[in-house]
Amino acid sequence: MNKKAFIFDLDGVIVDTAKYHFLAWQKIAAELGIEFTPEHNEELKGVSRVRSLDLILELGRMTASQQDKDRWLKQKNEDYLSYLVHMDQSEILPGVLHILQFLKEHHQPIALGSASKNARPILEKTGIIHYFDAIVDGNDVTNAKPDPEVFLQAARQIGATNQNAIVFEDSVAGIQAANIAGMISIGIGEAGILKEAQYNFPDFVHIDTSFIEYIIKK
Ligand code: B16
Ligand code: MG
């Protein structure tokens, strides 16, 4: 059997931090007089912090100095982190722990492939960091999804080929990154949005362990 690497995105796959990103970005947008809706927030999923700010400024047809941008980025992250203070295991999305446990019991390597620079504290706070054999996040990569760098590094750290890497993703950019790398892409969320994924599930509750067994043997 070929060595697999089960790579999990973080925000929107393991935890629902998108709501906190939204609240923090909304404050910045309000300060700048830019209307920022939950629909706009969809476009920021999986996108780096720096790029997210640029997208919000584009939305308001604004340009800004690097100094101002740095200030807003700092402010956004401080605000975002304030929402994470009370985070615990209860914020892990339904069904995720069951699959992590199943993979561990079957001695399958698990990796994180996230754009977030706050990934490690989130995994610690939710008490699941010990499941991960490799953690690659926004601090380790220079190219954002849909560039596959984050997933390539994760598979390399595990020692699996790209063909044997399986990526769980909730963002279009993340699915594209997995596909570009020749990995198995599994969309978590709306199939209509994640149409490019090889497999689609609304959430982890709908992933049967027989499907995971099939992927392990593939
Ligand atoms: P941070 P993922 C991404 O995480 C989020 O989806 C995206 O909304 C966020 O802007 C990005 O991380 C950067 O996060 O500000 O914490 O560095 O989905 O790739 O796990
Ligand atoms: Mg995500």
What average pLDDT score do residues 189-209 get?
97
- Condensed to tens digits (0 to 9), the pLDDT of residues 120-129 reads 999 999 999 9
The average pLDDT across 179-201 equals 97
Q: What six digits make up the tokens of 128?
A: 């699941």
Single out the catalytic residue among 9, 68, 133, 170. Answer: 9
Confidence grade of residue 1 (pLDDT, cut at 50, 70, 90): low
> Which of 7, 8, 11 for a ligand 1 pocket mutation test, highest count of atoms within 8 Å of Cβ?
11
- pLDDT of residue 95 exceeding 90, the answer is yes
CATH of 5-16+93-217, one of 3.40.640.10, 3.40.50.1000, 3.40.50.10680, 3.30.70.270: 3.40.50.1000
How large is the average pLDDT for residues 103-117?
Answer: 97
Q: What pLDDT is recorded for position 163?
A: 97
CA-nearest residue for atom 6, ligand 1, is 46
Where along the chain do its domains lie? Answer: 5-16+93-217, 18-84
Q: Is the CB of 135 under 6 A from ligand 1?
A: no
- Render pLDDT for 22-56 as a digit per residue (tens, 0 to 9): 999 999 999 999 999 998 998 898 889 999 999 99
| Measured distance CA(3)–CA(147) in Å, rounded | 24
Answer yes or no: is pLDDT of 160 > 80: yes
How deeply is 196 buried, as exposed, middle or buried, from its count of CB atoms within 10 A (0-12, 13-18, 19+)?
Answer: middle
- Give distance in angstroms: CA of 186 to centre of ligand 1: 18
User: What CATH number is given for 18-84 in this structure?
Assistant: 1.10.150.240
- The string of pLDDT tens digits covering residues 123-150 is 999 999 999 999 999 999 999 899 999 9
Ligand nearest to the CA of 48: 1
Backbone φ and ψ of 163, nearest 5°: -65, -25
Q: How far apart are CA 150 and CA 131, in angstroms?
A: 18
Mean pLDDT of 84-95: 96
11 is catalytic: yes
Please give the Cα distance from 13 to 86 (Å, whole number): 19
* Whole-number pLDDT of residue 13: 97
Ligand 2 mean position, distance from CA 197 (Å): 14
- Ligand 2 ion: residues within 5 Å (CB): 9, 11-12, 46, 170-171
Distance 45 CA to ligand 2 centre (A): 6
Mean pLDDT of all residues belonging to the chain: 96
- Ligand number nearest CA of 80 is 1
88 is catalytic: no
Which tokens go with 74? 């700092």
